[in-house]
Amino acid sequence: MQSKSAIRRGNKGRKELVKAHRRIASRMHANAKKRGHAKSLYKNAITYQAAAASYTEAMLRNILNANDNRVSQNASLLMHCITSIADGMRTEAYRNGFSIGKELYRMLNSDKHYETYEESIPGLVSFFENAGLGNVAYAAFEDMLSLDVYSNEHRYVGSSIHVFESGIISGFVSSGRRNYSIISERACANNNSDHCEFVLEGTGYRGAEPVNGNIKGKELLDMLLGHIHRPHYSNEYLSSSYMALLSAVVADRRYIGEMNSIMRYIGSSIGDTLAKKGASSRLQGMLNVLDSIYTGMVEVRSKKPMSFIMSFDGTKLNEAYVRLSLSLVEGIFSRAYSTKKMKAIEINRYNLHKIKIAEER
Ligand SMILES: [Zn+2]
């Protein structure tokens, strides 16, 4: 896979990326020609690749310009835990973060023309603060870097969960230092520390992304469930563009089957708790949980028979994210309303993804 490794080498950069895209497109073209529907597939390949590059840039600009709506802490905790649930996911989250960090450096550097990497760190710090991760303190020297992120999110999950952020810092710093720079999260606010601490571990690619091997997926999931059952009220919110970049890892096509199962599992566990309640408090409980994850996105149409709609901004959140949410909702219904059949339909119009959920009569 020549093209894939070209993409991983990243910023060497955009020229190579464009070449790789062309190779993919021309290969698709050749394959499609054999099957006799060359034109449309070729076109789709080009559009898709171009869209992917400008999509990341657009999301990063939203965050840098603080021009963004926000998502809840529960949504953010859910996604951070899920990107940490297994070593494979952590590797993907780090890699995705890495390419985003590189892109962020490219964008900021084209404006500021940094002479040393230390000069670039305040840009990275503002980026994280604008994204809503918390207040950031840092120390940057030639061979030493630490970033301390202070947020209000301290719910204990028994593991460090900010591997995506480690990847962003790694990509950003690797660009500035012109050397692959390994970043790890040494302490995490969701694992008995009052802040998250990211440090530069060393230099040079060692043939694999750094992954902490102490993750126990089931325990992490149970911890997450303990929190996600309850609505969480906090003044802190995460940028929705940042959330979109984070959730792209989870929505990766290679893992989507497993991720749907995990979301359904989370949903059914929530549903089990709700099933013990009476009809009206069950409905209210479900709406509370959904609202605590999808704040402002859930609209109740009718309570009897029950019908509601969830809307997703299609310019940010992709279809896979919508599908994952649908799995969560299906999981809740399958347990909370086992006697009634629920129907979930996807409606896609313009840039809005909608899920309509209604009691089947
Ligand atoms: Zn952390």
**Å from CA of 288 to ligand 1 middle:** 26
Given a cut of 80, whether residue 136 has pLDDT beyond it is yes
Choose from 13-17, 23-27, 63-67, 212-216 the range with maximum mean pLDDT. 63-67
Residue range 44-99, pLDDT digits in tens = 444 444 555 688 999 999 999 987 888 888 889 999 999 888 888 899 999 999 99
Residue range 172-226, pLDDT digits in tens = 999 999 999 999 999 999 999 999 999 999 998 887 777 765 667 888 888 898 8
User: Could you tell me what percent of the chain has a pLDDT over 70?
Assistant: 79
**Å from CA of 358 to ligand 1 middle:** 38
Gap between the Cα atoms of 287 and 309, Å rounded: 11
What are the phi and psi torsion angles at 285 (to 5°)? Answer: -60, -40
- Comparison of pLDDT for 320 and 128, the residue scoring more: 128
* Alpha helices in 37-83, H assignment, sequence order: 38-64, 73-82
Given a cut of 60, whether residue 128 has pLDDT beyond it is yes
**Å from CA of 189 to ligand 1 middle:** 5
**Å from CA of 204 to ligand 1 middle:** 24
- Residue 179 has what pLDDT? 94
Residue range 293-344, pLDDT digits in tens = 888 888 888 887 778 888 888 888 777 788 888 889 888 888 887 655 666 6
The DSSP result for 150-190, as a single string, is: E-S-----SS---HHHHHHHHHHHHHHHTS-EEEEEEE-TT
- Residue 39 has what pLDDT? 43
Q: Which of the four pLDDT bands, split at 50, 70 and 90, describes residue 356? A: confident
Q: Which residue has the tokens 């970033």?
A: 147
**Å from CA of 249 to ligand 1 middle:** 17
**Å from CA of 314 to ligand 1 middle:** 28
- Residue 343 has what pLDDT? 65
**Å from CA of 105 to ligand 1 middle:** 22
- Residue 28 has what pLDDT? 43
Given a cut of 90, whether residue 150 has pLDDT beyond it is yes
Coil, strand, or helix at residue 238?
strand
**Å from CA of 187 to ligand 1 middle:** 7
